[in-house]
Amino acid sequence: MKGIHSIFLACFLVSAFACFLASAFDPSPLQDFCVAIDDPKAGVFVNGKFCKDPKLAVADDFFFSRLNKPGNTNNRVGSNVTTVNVDQIPGLNTLGISLVRIDYAPYGENPPHTHPRGTV
Ligand SMILES: *[C@@H]1O[C@H](CO)[C@@H](O)[C@H](O)[C@H]1NC(C)=O
């Protein structure tokens, strides 16, 4: 009986160690926010965008107001996707956050698609 307990303990330790080796995650952001701008002379390049000087960030850098408006679903798939990502809200840059509003016509569908890297 003692030998079985030792085998279970050994298996548990080996699997716990394997889980420890296999863990993966995106690194935590190095700063609270990085408001994206397109001017290469204006700041530091992070996550495919340049960061605005944090002292110049304003509330509008974190605001988007069109999600209350339905998209036109009069198209081939009968749906309309309104995306909200760093291109609409520059303050989302590096935060790993994006969202969409999807409007469906009756019998509309969301065609198969992918989400590479999860967010943009
Ligand atoms: C989605 O709706 C918007 C707003 O009505 C429209 O400008 C856009 O062309 C629509 N997109 C598609 C794919 O139908």
pLDDT means per 10 residues in the chain (120 residues)? 72 68 65 81 74 90 94 97 93 87 97 74
> What spatial distance separates the first Cα and last Cα of the chain, rounded to whole Å?
55
Q: Give the model's pLDDT for residue 50.
A: 84
pLDDT at 19: 59
In CATH, what is the architecture of 2-104? Sandwich (2.60)
Q: Taking CB atoms and a 6 Å cutoff, what residues make up the pocket around ligand 1?
A: 71-72, 75, 80
Q: Which residues contact 118 (CB under 8 A, 6 or more apart)?
A: 96
Q: What is the pLDDT of residue 38?
A: 81
- 48 alpha carbon – ligand 1 mean position (Å): 27
pTM for the whole structure = 0.64
The CA distance from 61 to 64, in Å, is: 9
- Reported for 97-101, long-range contacts at CB under 8 A and 24+ positions apart, including other chains, are 101/67, 101/71
| Closest atom of ligand 1 relative to the 73 alpha carbon | 14
User: What is the distance between the alpha carbons of residues 86 and 119, in angstroms, rounded to a whole number?
Assistant: 9
